[in-house]
Amino acid sequence: DVHLVQSGAELKKPGESLKISCKVSGDSFSNHYIGWVRQKPGNGLEWLAVIYPGDSETAYSPSVQGRVTISFDRSVTSVFLHWESLATSDSATYYCARWDYLGPGTQRYFNYWGQGTLVTVSS
């Protein structure tokens, strides 16, 4: 079974740094893309970034490019999302999800999801 387990809720002040994690188990870590999706309170879903541990390929949404960094550590089969300097607008629930091909001729889709990490940024 594939499981994605995320780190716990965070309460931070504006300007602080933060790194949240997503531990992936149950399948070959390096062979699957992992992405992050944000959901601000009362709002819809927003894709932020993806990474492929096999070759370190990354892609970012223009809305967060330069503000967040996606990374991984193969030794602990985990993917991370890092902010150098948080803003109140970063308050949201963050989900990691595995981005998989689900059949021949298809594109990738977010098939397995973590439970979400609530990040609150407030002075």
Partner 1 sequence: IQLTQSPSSLSASVGDRVTITCRASQGISTFLAWYQQKPGRAPKLLIYAASTLQSGVPSRFSGSGSGTDFTLTISSLQPEDFATYYCQQVDNYPLTFGGGTKVEIK
The residue ranges that bind partner 1 (CB under 8 A) are 35, 37, 44-47, 50, 59-63, 95, 97, 102-103, 106-111, 113-116
**Which structure tokens are listed for 15?**
């300007």
Query: Nearest distance from residue 91's CB to partner 1, in Å?
Result: 16
Query: Nearest distance from residue 89's CB to partner 1, in Å?
Result: 18
Comparing CB distances to partner 1, the nearer of 83 and 95 is: 95
- First-residue to last-residue Cα distance in the chain: 41
Comparing CB distances to partner 1, the nearer of 10 and 59 is: 59
What ranges in 24-80 are assigned the alpha helix state H?
none
Comparing CB distances to partner 1, the nearer of 66 and 123 is: 66
What are the phi and psi torsion angles at 121 (to 5°)? -115, 115
Comparing CB distances to partner 1, the nearer of 17 and 65 is: 65
1, 49, 106 from 4: Cα distances, Å: 10, 16, 23
Is the Cβ–Cβ distance between 24 and 4 less than 8 Å? yes
Query: Nearest distance from residue 55's CB to partner 1, in Å?
Result: 17
